[in-house]
Structures are given as structure tokens and as C-alpha cells.
Amino acid sequence: MAKFLFIYRESTESSAKPSPEEMQALAGAWYAWMQKFSSAIVPGGDGLKHSGRLLKGGLVTDGPYVEAKEIIVSFALIQAVDYDAAVAIARECPPGHTIEIRELAGYA
């Protein structure tokens, strides 16, 4: 079985903050998704803080992005037989994010 990295991206231009009720509903949707695909989720995924550093050419700047309209907000590791199966799992994620799906090379 192959391993895939789901990289969840969120727009930096969104100024609307969800209400507590909307946050609760979204948390419930993510919990349901994690329960449904618990056998495919590899431990180790997590959310990311909106701050970070970027190292490029020896220069360190604030990041985690440079002139981007989206930032990476979290990630998950998924086991699936192929890209089609990984995409099927990603399609059932709660809405609101762009999801980049990358197969791990298996070096580690």
C-alpha cells in the first residue's frame, strides 16, 4: 500500500471568521471524516500555525509563504492502493480547503 501526503491549503484573503456554531459543525465534520477513514490515516498528521520561517539561499525570512494567496494550514498522511483511492478519500474531506495530494517516495 502506498502512502500519500494530503496538504491542506487555505486562502489568505478570507476575512470572514466562522461563528462558534460553524466551527463546531466543521470540527464535527472533520471528526466524522477521520472516523470513516481511520484505517487509512497514518499517525503523524497535524495542523500548522500560521507563522513560520523560510530559508532560501541562506537568507531567513518570516513565512511560511512568499507572495502567495494560499497557505498550508495542515497535513495528513494517508495509506491507499493508488492515486485514485487517495483522491476518493480526499473528496470526502469537509469543504473549505484546496487539497494537494502527493505520493511519498518511500525512502524512509
| Beta strand residue intervals within 16-65, DSSP E | 41-47, 52-56, 59-63
Domains in the chain (CATH in brackets) are 2-103 (3.30.70.1060)
Grid coordinates given for 94 = 469537509
Q: Give percent above pLDDT 70 in the chain.
A: 93
Q: What is the pLDDT of residue 63?
A: 64
Q: What is the pTM of this model?
A: 0.80
Residues in the chain: 108
pLDDT winner (highest mean) among 16-25, 28-37, 57-66: 28-37
